[in-house]
Structure 1
Amino acid sequence: MKNLPSRPPFRPSGMEKATDGANDKSASKKKPRGPKLDAERVSREEILRAGVPAGSRFKGYKSCFVRDLVLAVELVHYRRECWITPDGKTVIAPLPAGIMGSYGPNLRRLCLMLHAQGQVTTGRLTTLLNDVGIDISKRQVVRLLAKGLDGFVAEDAAVLHAGLVSSSYVTVDDTGARHARGNSHTTQIGGEYFTVFRTSASKSRLNFLSLLRGNYKDYVLNAAAFDYSAERRADPMLVARLRTIEPQRFCNEVPFLEYLAGKSIDIFDRQVVGVLAEAGIWGSIRHHGLVGDMVIVSDDAGQFRVGNHALCWVHAERLLQKLMPAKPKELRSVALVRDLVWRFYKTLKAWKQKPSLHAVQGFRRRFDKIFTMRTGYDALDKLLERLHRRKDELLKVLEHPEIPLHTNASENDLRTFVTKRKVSGGTISPAQTQFVAGTAASPAIPCSG
């Protein structure tokens, strides 16, 4: 709405940093400098002569290692042999791997590294290459960045599949994105050893489940699917029509919808079909052995609340910070509750380092004591009651000590996309979207052609 005050800024609560122990602070101090470990990779040795007076005695050499960068432009002339076989066919010697048009693999690696990791725009990248002596247009730079990405796409898909099969937990988050001049959403899924990004037009639960399905496109109506539909309170009469002795598997959405229509289910009812489609995808996830007992840690966004779900403590505490008490008593009540939550969180973090089953019941009782207290501040009391209903998700770490207590890692990973959005504004083609997703998840650009 116009002519109204802007939304008040909310500073970070500082709970995560404030609850770090003394040992963590000491560990964050800079380590003393030592000798470099790359002395064995000397590429060139040069003897420097000293101007000394006559009669001086030679005492050997004093070594000094200097790290430098050589950036040279090459114009390689390949003379490809041409042969005529006895049957009249022409055979031409192939070019080395990695060459695209008139440009070699090393140039392409540099473009990928500067654009993906350095956030250099294509315009500035073109100017830089022209300045060092490479005759290339902006259109050709875009081709080098957007063409021939099959290796990135395949590797990214394999990373997602391996993560969904083997990880004990994932943290998830999403952010806005621009694609094809329209609003889209980028979802991050990451575990201890992997991170992937997917951009789509929707941020619904159906979309998130399709991401958890990995590289599969099928729908499966099995026991897991029917259990999911019961949790989502689907119409039992409709679900009964779909039950069969053996699981039903459909290769994609089209035969799945045909099957629903054949069971007299209105496939144009988005609410009904949406729940059944979610159930079919969840059945596919279980059918392929994905997710398993993996814990999904999120910021309580509704689309992420599936499977074995855990809540982010930092986002939960942020709700307390967003309260706007108007009276001194309300201010004191909020400060008291936040102090209790911070102390509880600090103790929980310490327990996570050295888990003990004997302390689990104590944590649960202490949680009940904090989140069932009544302060007389109505907004605060309702919030405490709401958080208490999410007890199992907030205390999921007591069952799985390996999971993080927050989604900070996901938020940090998504900053890559936020920066990219500010620099480039968005993507146009699906190839660009695949490139951004594939390279953003990689700590370094592969050196293969």
Structure 2
Amino acid sequence: MGILGSNILRLSSYQQMDDTGCRVNGENYYTQIICNDLATVFFTTKHKNRLTALDILRNFESRSFIFNDESFSLLKQLRVSKKNINLLHEVEKNNTFNEQKMQEILNKIFPDPNKGKNNRIRIMEACAIASYHQEIGRPIVKVLLCDDAPQFKLITDELSLCWVHDDRHYKRLRPVVPDHQNDLTDFLGRYWDFYRILYEYKDNPTCEHASIISTKFDTLFSTTTGYTELDDRIAKTKSKKKGITNSIKPS
């Protein structure tokens, strides 16, 4: 990503990330994008996992890992087994390791390379995230705007979910019954009417306005239509209220 990528991280209080599949010399790769209101950078990576997302935010510098209070908290959130967490407590705390040293630590815990693959990945992710958060001399992204893909979760303090990506779940519904078709059309109209209210909030970011929007969100996404697939989708959007309304912060 180079100098341009490093500078883009300093230009805004948030960054937006996304990825899409592509082919490179007949192999599967991913086109990555990182952007904000002022700049956009595209590039290509072999993977689209959480470590790759961190690589992007760290300008592809050598990976670093640390065992500290945050990493152990993340290990629990990532559902690493208590047995493995207890073993990791024996590792030196609050010192950063490079990737080679991290692999040596993991090889002692998982001597069989065919076992514990998911746990190895989760441990590396937790320690890499914790190391990223305590780094000095680089911009640490606090707010990430993205879809609900797992590779973006836990990396930043706050996650803002994208309305366009959420809408795609509704577009995938294929109702056959005419009443269900009407239910979907009606709800999507109300969905985007609500989204337009968010734009109005930009011009009037007050506590009162935020409270009104919060109430309208709860009302809209408590809708029941009798079309089961649509009602399930509405409930899922409501469960993501914190992320999808993260921009509603009174000034």
Q: TM-score range by the shorter chain?
A: 0.7 to 0.9
Aligned to 1:349: 199
Post-superposition offset of 1:188: 1.0
Letter of the structure 1 residue corresponding to residue 106 of structure 2: L
Q: From 159, 183, 188, give the equivalent of 1:338.
A: 188
With over 3 angstroms needed to count, the CA separation of the structure-2 counterparts of 1:270 and 1:198, relative to structure 1, is: farther
Q: From 267, 281, 286, give the equivalent of 2:133.
A: 286
* Residue 183 of structure 1 pairs with residue 4 of structure 2: no
Cα separation, 2, equivalents of 1:349 and 1:267: 54
Aligned to 1:383: 233
Cα separation, 1, equivalents of 2:112 and 2:146: 31
Post-superposition offset of 1:364: 1.4
| Greater relative contact order, per chain length (Cα 8 Å cut-off, separation 6+) | 1
* Residue 222 of structure 1 pairs with residue 68 of structure 2: yes
Cα separation, 1, equivalents of 2:177 and 2:222: 22
- Contact 2:22/2:31 (8 A) holds in 1: yes
Post-superposition offset of 1:164: 3.4
Aligned to 1:296: 144
Aligned to 2:177: 327
* Residue 232 of structure 1 pairs with residue 78 of structure 2: yes
* Residue 258 of structure 1 pairs with residue 108 of structure 2: no
Return the index of the structure with the highest Cα Rg.
1
Post-superposition offset of 1:166: 5.6
Post-superposition offset of 1:291: 5.8
- Listed as ranges, the matches of 1:135-284 within 5 Å are 156-164=1-9, 167-214=12-59, 215-243=61-89, 246-251=93-98, 253-262=99-108, 264-266=109-111, 268=113, 269-284=116-131
Secondary structure of the residue that 2:176 maps to in structure 1?
Answer: coil
Post-superposition offset of 1:284: 2.2
Post-superposition offset of 1:399: 2.9
Letter of the structure 1 residue corresponding to residue 24 of structure 2: H
Post-superposition offset of 1:267: 6.8
Secondary structure of the residue that 2:247 maps to in structure 1?
Answer: helix
- Structure holding more strand per residue: 2
Post-superposition offset of 1:209: 2.2
- Contact 1:260/1:267 (8 A) holds in 2: no
Post-superposition offset of 1:285: 1.0
Aligned to 1:152: none
- Contact 2:147/2:165 (8 A) holds in 1: yes
With over 3 angstroms needed to count, the CA separation of the structure-2 counterparts of 1:182 and 1:286, relative to structure 1, is: same
Residue deviations 1:275-320 (CA, integer Å, cap 9, x gap): 0111121122112145646211113233223332111112212322
Residue deviations 1:188-207 (CA, integer Å, cap 9, x gap): 11123333333221112222
Cα separation, 1, equivalents of 2:45 and 2:165: 24
With over 3 angstroms needed to count, the CA separation of the structure-2 counterparts of 1:199 and 1:288, relative to structure 1, is: same
Post-superposition offset of 1:161: 2.9
Letter of the structure 2 residue corresponding to residue 377 of structure 1: Y
- Contact 2:146/2:161 (8 A) holds in 1: yes
Cα separation, 2, equivalents of 1:228 and 1:275: 9
- Listed as ranges, the matches of 1:295-444 within 5 Å are 295-306=143-154, 307=156, 308-399=158-249
Cα separation, 2, equivalents of 1:291 and 1:226: 24
RMSD: 2.3
Counting aligned pairs with the same residue, the percent is 26
Secondary structure of the residue that 1:216 maps to in structure 2?
Answer: coil
Letter of the structure 2 residue corresponding to residue 225 of structure 1: S
With over 3 angstroms needed to count, the CA separation of the structure-2 counterparts of 1:274 and 1:291, relative to structure 1, is: farther
Post-superposition offset of 1:187: 1.0
Post-superposition offset of 1:234: 1.6
- The gaps in structure 2 that reach 5 residues or longer are none
With over 3 angstroms needed to count, the CA separation of the structure-2 counterparts of 1:240 and 1:172, relative to structure 1, is: same
With over 3 angstroms needed to count, the CA separation of the structure-2 counterparts of 1:351 and 1:164, relative to structure 1, is: same
- Contact 2:9/2:141 (8 A) holds in 1: no
Post-superposition offset of 1:240: 2.9
Letter of the structure 1 residue corresponding to residue 129 of structure 2: W
Letter of the structure 2 residue corresponding to residue 352 of structure 1: K
Normalised to the residue count of structure 1, the TM-score between the two structures is: 0.50
Post-superposition offset of 1:254: 1.4
- The gaps in structure 1 that reach 5 residues or longer are 1-155, 402-449
